[in-house]
């Protein structure tokens, strides 16, 4: 049986990112701003346990059901978890749904959700288009460099969850640190970039765009001593608060069992112990994967902590 293991992040350079990721990550990158920390990317390297040194993508292919569970479609690791650090407005984008992605030879589309780990006053995201905007006006506004006037900007505060289903015209503004949970796909069509000289994917973004979607803030729900932040088609995101010396003995996965689980530490320090394996220590912004076939395991709080559990659907 595979025990729980910790992953090393992969840092992705973006022109809209930061050169210093403190206090979230101990990383400085002079001259090469980092916009994204990929926590469950296929290229992320396993740091602990018998799979140490292997990439997550290779391990998902090799161990299949033992790692991912019987309900997974076996097309690789299902979810990509990221932390985003926008220093300025991201381009306006649209992601395709599964049907459109498969039309162009890709395995899956990209539905996602954003949890605000931090939000400065005035932070906002663009979600969809203002009422009354039609596809023809969207094209004209892009060509005339004025699409911003048609975007529906929504204020965001720390601790809020936002759902962004495929087909939603969207953008993220500065002042936020976002935990993003998404289908494991990097399909992004750039619709508009405020006049910056970067490539646009106009025709595909217009094809992927839906004028009405389910995107928007999601109200948290209390359930059995924890908070359900998101329960959507592709993923479920839960939040747990533990005091020092508290522990959880093998989360009950209920309807999702047997299923792989992703544990993200939003704050504090934790330790995972399991039969026949070395302890796995977690600090802020680190991720552990609990394979579907993992034997009895226990998560203990070394300090008061905020823990996110993410389950594929």
Where in the sequence numbering do the catalytic residues fall? Answer: 190
State the Cα–Cα distance between residues 174 and 166, nearest whole angstrom.
22
How far separated are the first and last CA of the chain, in Å rounded?
Answer: 22
DSSP structure string for 125-166: EEEEE-TT--HHHHHHHHHTT-GGGGEEEEE--TT-EEEE-T
State the Cα–Cα distance between residues 211 and 62, nearest whole angstrom.
41
Whether 262 contacts 309, CB under 8 Å: yes
Tell the residue number behind the tokens 């993508």, with chain if given: 57
């Amino acid at each position: 049986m595979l025990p729980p293991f910790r992953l090393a992040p992969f840092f992705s350079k973006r022109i809209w990112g930061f050169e210093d990721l403190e206090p979230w990550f101990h990383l400085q990158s002079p001259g090469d701003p980092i916009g994204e920390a990929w926590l469950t990317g296929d290229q992320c390297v396993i740091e602990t346990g018998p799979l140490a040194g292997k990439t997550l993508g290779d391990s998902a292919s090799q161990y299949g059901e033992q790692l991912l569970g019987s309900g997974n479609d076996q097309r690789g690791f299902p979810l990509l978890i990221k932390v985003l650090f926008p220093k300025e407005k991201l381009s306006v984008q649209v992601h395709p749904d599964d049907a459109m992605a498969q039309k162009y030879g890709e395995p899956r589309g990209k539905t996602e959700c954003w949890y605000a780990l931090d939000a400065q006053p005035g932070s906002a995201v663009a979600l969809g288009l203002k009422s009354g905007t039609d596809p023809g006006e969207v094209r004209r506004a892009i060509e005339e460099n004025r699409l911003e006037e048609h975007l529906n900007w929504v204020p965001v505060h720390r601790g809020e969850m936002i759902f962004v289903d495929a087909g939603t015209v969207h953008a993220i503004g500065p002042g936020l640190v976002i935990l993003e949970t998404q289908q494991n796909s990097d399909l992004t069509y750039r619709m508009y970039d405020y006049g910056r000289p970067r490539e646009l994917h106009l025709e595909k973004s217009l094809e992927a765009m839906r004028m009405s979607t389910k995107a928007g803030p999601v109200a948290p729900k209390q359930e059995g001593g924890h908070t359900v932040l998101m329960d959507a088609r592709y993923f479920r995101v839960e939040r747990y608060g533990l005091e020092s010396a508290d522990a959880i003995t093998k989360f009950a996965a209920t309807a999702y069992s047997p299923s792989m689980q992703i544990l993200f530490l939003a704050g504090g320090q934790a330790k995972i112990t399991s039969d026949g394996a070395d302890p796995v220590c977690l600090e802020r912004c680190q991720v552990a994967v609990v394979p579907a076939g993992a034997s009895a395991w226990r998560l203990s709080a070394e300090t008061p902590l905020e823990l996110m559990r993410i389950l594929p659907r």
